């Protein structure tokens, strides 16, 4: 099988040279989509001829003509593929991402249109859940979109309760994941840890009672006094950074969509040392993961 071309790096001039036309983008999508071979979506047959349009494939058995974008997050996008690629590149490679307002100004699209596409990008940025956090992991919860004083109560009104887990490594911090939860109950805290943290990890939480029953499942879980945050400096800094980012760039983001923003933040954060490969990796997720309908 021929090796597909991949775009790497953060240089927008090179990006413009690599993707000049919609056909360049269609080709990129087709190569990712069928990199592991062709299977007709309708009948599963593996033999095809070229379809009617460039890079389409037509099944030799049932004659179904499949476009490269069919079944991907680029299906039925309301603007050109070239524009869609530019938006993905900007959102993923800019250190702080781009708000839908900025996107609508730069690309002369309606903000609502940008929002719909960015929402898809954020879904693709969700963790694949294949690399749980290891070693020493700090966990804590915080509120987004309101004052702090109601710590640990049920999230009310506009506020959303978020749980965060952060790897602590020798020379600083490793990866992190965050999720919106309803209550800081053992059930929800446990579900989060099961999803994102290895069973062998040394999990460090504060003295909140919700963590105590989880010691049965996570044998190395320890609870330590927060001491007004002194014992949790790194995770508190991380929380401040998320909040600052949400406030600064995305202050219009609806509280119901916080999870998408948490996905976006951590997609970039967890790959901060491999930024050059972020675009291609995200393209793969947008093409190979099943498309998700807009809420
Ligand atoms: Zn077929």
- As a whole number of angstroms, the distance between CA 100 and CA 106 comes to 10
Q: What is the tens place of the pLDDT at every residue in 241-253?
A: 999 999 887 666 6
Residue 194 and residue 181 in contact, taking contact as beta carbons nearer than 8 Å: no
| Model pLDDT, residue 116 | 93
| Model pLDDT, residue 148 | 52
Give the Å distance between the CA of 72 and the centre of ligand 1.
Answer: 18
| Model pLDDT, residue 295 | 43
Of 88, 8, 14, which is closest to residue 280 (Cα–Cα)?
8
Q: What is the tens place of the pLDDT at every residue in 156-211?
A: 566 889 999 999 999 899 999 999 999 999 999 999 999 999 999 999 999 999 99
Which residues, in sequence order, are CB contacts of 172 under 8 Å at separation 6+? 234
Which pTM was predicted? 0.92
Give the Å distance between the CA of 66 and the centre of ligand 1.
Answer: 9
DSSP 291: P
Give the Å distance between the CA of 109 and the centre of ligand 1.
Answer: 37
Helix H or strand E segment including 29: helix 22-33
Give the Å distance between the CA of 85 and the centre of ligand 1.
Answer: 29
- As a whole number of angstroms, the distance between CA 119 and CA 180 comes to 16
Other C-beta atoms closer than 10 Å to the C-beta of 240 total 11
DSSP 215: G
Q: Is the dihedral of CA 286, 290, 291, 294 positive or negative?
A: negative
- As a whole number of angstroms, the distance between CA 12 and CA 77 comes to 22
Helix H or strand E segment including 261: helix 258-270
Give the Å distance between the CA of 32 and the centre of ligand 1.
Answer: 20
- As a whole number of angstroms, the distance between CA 177 and CA 267 comes to 9
Q: What is the CA radius of gyration of the chain?
A: 22
- As a whole number of angstroms, the distance between CA 105 and CA 172 comes to 38
| Model pLDDT, residue 135 | 97
Give the Å distance between the CA of 256 and the centre of ligand 1.
Answer: 40
Give the Å distance between the CA of 65 and the centre of ligand 1.
Answer: 8
Of 85, 75, 104, 109, which is closest to residue 23 (Cα–Cα)?
85
Averaged pLDDT of the chain = 91
Give the Å distance between the CA of 70 and the centre of ligand 1.
Answer: 14
Q: What is the tens place of the pLDDT at every residue in 28-38?
A: 999 999 999 99
Integer distance in angstroms from the first to the last C-alpha of the chain? 38
Query: Which residues of the chain have a pLDDT value below 70?
Result: 1-2, 146-158, 250-253, 290-295
pLDDT more than 70, % of the chain? 91
Helix H or strand E segment including 89: helix 81-93
């Amino acid at each position: 099988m021929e090796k597909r071309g991949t775009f790497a790096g953060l240089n927008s001039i090179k990006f413009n040279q690599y993707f000049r036309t919609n056909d360049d983008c269609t080709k990129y999508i087709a190569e990712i989509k069928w990199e592991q071979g062709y299977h007709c979506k309708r009948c599963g047959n593996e033999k095809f001829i070229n379809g009617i349009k460039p890079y389409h494939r037509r099944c030799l058995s049932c004659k179904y003509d499949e476009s490269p974008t069919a079944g991907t997050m680029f299906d039925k996008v309301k603007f050109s593929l070239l524009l869609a690629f530019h938006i993905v590149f900007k959102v993923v490679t800019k250190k702080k991402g781009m708000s839908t307002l900025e996107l609508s100004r730069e690309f002369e699209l309606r903000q609502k249109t940008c929002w719909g596409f960015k929402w898809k990008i954020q879904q693709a940025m969700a963790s694949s859940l294949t690399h749980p956090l290891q070693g020493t992991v700090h966990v804590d919860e915080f509120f987004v979109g309101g004052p702090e004083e109601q710590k640990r109560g049920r999230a009310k009104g506009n506020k959303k309760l978020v749980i965060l887990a952060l790897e602590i490594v020798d020379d600083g911090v490793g990866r992190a994941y965050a999720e919106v939860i309803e209550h800081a109950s053992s059930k929800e805290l446990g579900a989060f840890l099961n999803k994102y943290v290895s069973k062998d990890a040394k999990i460090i939480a504060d003295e909140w009672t919700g963590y105590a029953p989880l010691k049965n499942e996570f044998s190395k879980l320890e609870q330590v006094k927060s001491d007004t945050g002194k014992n949790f400096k790194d995770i508190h800094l991380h929380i401040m950074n998320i909040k600052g980012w949400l406030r600064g760039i995305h202050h219009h983001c609806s509280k119901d969509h916080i999870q998408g923003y948490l996905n976006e933040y951590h997609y970039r954060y967890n790959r901060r040392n491999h930024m050059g490969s972020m675009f291609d990796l995200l393209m793969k997720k947008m093409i190979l993961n099943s498309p998700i309908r807009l809420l």
